[in-house]
Amino acid sequence: MDYEAIIHAFVDPFVVHKDAIMIRELPSNSERDITLLIVAEGEDTSRLIGRKGVVADALREILSVAGKSEGKRIYLKFESFEPKESEE
């Protein structure tokens, strides 16, 4: 299953910088577990997590349902990056 496409379908409407979203699968000790890292700019990361983590929890729930169809456990992690300022 293409979990990256699922994430983009739900995440893209929330963020300002759609092209800056990076989704990577992190190494796992188990074939059953999948950990996905979502990296966005600071402002967009805040939107993706939401107040009290409501948006992040909803994304986790959606991916949990998708993963269960393949017998997988999906974990999400969020990180932010700030664009590099040009050196003068």
The domains of the chain are located at 3-25+39-81
Q: How far apart are CA 5 and CA 81, in angstroms?
A: 21
55-74 burial code (b ≥16 CB/10 A, e <16): bbeebeebbeebbeeeebeb
**C-alpha to C-alpha distance for 60 and 67, rounded to whole angstroms:** 10
C-alpha–C-alpha distance, residues 69 and 45, integer Å: 28
Q: How far apart are the first and last CA of the chain?
A: 45
> For 52-86, how does the pLDDT look when each residue is reduced to its tens digit (9 = 90+)?
999 999 999 999 999 999 999 999 999 998 766 65
Q: What is the pTM of this model?
A: 0.83
